[in-house]
Chains A and B, each alone.
Chain A
Amino acid sequence: MTLLGITREGFRRINVNQGETRVSDDPDVVLTTVLGSCIAACLYDPAAKIGGINHFLLAEPGRSDIDGTSMQRYGVYAMEVLINAMLTMGAARNRLRARLYGGASMLDGFHDIGSDNAQFARRFLRDEGIALVGEDVGGTGARRIEFRPTLGLARCRTVTDRHAVERAVPIPTAAAMAPPGDVEFF
């Protein structure tokens, strides 16, 4: 994630790029991301005042894509990381609430990745028993999300240059992420 500086309101903005997850219990933090066909799930625990956001590119890998580096792009991994990070910080699973954003159809005439992403995210939340309390998904426009993790409040705005969105945001390389699948024997 990238620190973007201080907002006029005095909040510390943290950008969450593709493949990244960020959780915070800092009331002065705003987590922000820009989405096209990607999905960002904003989870929060209103009692613990902990929230987090992920940003994933694709829903679920095929059998040939089940490797550590590839999985970082997938929702099935991103959701697991987000939930576990929140539980580690002190959130309770049965109190988690979710908001979903993104999933736009960004490439006319191609497979609708955005729609698949949105369907996956809804199904995942339903399977995990996490209440979906708000969403702004689909359509053809890119979105900028600003999420206050401690309050669970999100602001979703349309981004004019929709094609610039995901071109401008590089997918993190494996080197920038925690080493996947590290094994330690006791």
Chain B
Amino acid sequence: MTAQLSSKGPAVPSTIMTVDDSPSMRMLLRAALTDLGFNVLEAENGIHALERLEGAEPDLLITDINMPRLDGFGLIEQVRSKARHRNLPILVLTTESSDEKKLRARQAGATGWIVKPFHPEKLAAAIRRVLH
């Protein structure tokens, strides 16, 4: 599904899965993404995200890196190993910005990298780019 995202939000609501172990950060993302007109699914770590992906078809996955049980790198690798999610856009959203970790995310199959704190307009622009 491809969203028609304008400044007023998508005509057809797309679904975005956010993966972050911080409840507060999930709350902020949910507030921002619902304001942009998206449906939001949430997971609190990589394992939880994989479980939720078994029964869901999100249009975009936004994941943190440092998480318990399964971190963002492991999640991306697992998602990319599944045929049905091979083309799912994945944005990393993290406070980290080292080139080494960006390279690792890229090699794992991430689509892009966003440095926290997210800026809603930049986040919207990034989403627009990957969903179109």
Contact = CB atoms under 8 A, between A and B. Distances in A.
Interface of A: 60-61, 63, 66-69, 71-72, 76-77, 79-81, 83-85, 87-88, 93-94, 124, 127-128, 178-186
Contacts of A60: 24
Nearest to B119: A181
B52 interface: no
A84 B101 CA distance: 13
B32 A76 contact: no
A71 B24 CA distance: 12
5 contacts: A63-B35, A124-B24, A181-B115, A183-B122, A184-B114
B95 interface: yes
A76 B120 contact: no
A77 B117 contact: yes
Secondary structure dominating the interface of A: helix
A83 B116 CA distance: 13
B25 interface: yes
A85 B122 contact: no
B118 A181 contact: yes
Contacts of B66: 83-84, 87-88, 93
Interface stretch (B10-18, B53-61, B77-85, B123-131): B123-131
The 5 A-B pairs at the shortest CB distance, nearest first, are namely A181-B119, A68-B119, A181-B122, A71-B117, A76-B24
Nearest to B106: A186
A67 B97 contact: no
Nearest to B118: A181
Given A66-B120, A81-B116, A180-B115, 4 more contacts: A83-B66, A181-B118, A181-B119, A185-B130
Interface of B: 21-25, 27-28, 31-32, 35, 65-66, 68, 94-98, 102, 105-106, 110-123, 125-126, 129-130
A79 B95 CA distance: 11
B117 A72 contact: yes
B124 to A, nearest CB: 10
B95 A68 contact: no
B32 A66 contact: yes
A80 B120 contact: no
A60 to B, nearest CB: 7
A76 B113 contact: no
Nearest to B114: A183
A88 B111 contact: no
A68 to B, nearest CB: 4
B117 A181 contact: yes
A88 B96 contact: yes
A66 B31 contact: yes
B25 A181 contact: no
Contacts of B118: 68, 180-181
Contacts of B22: 79-80, 83, 128
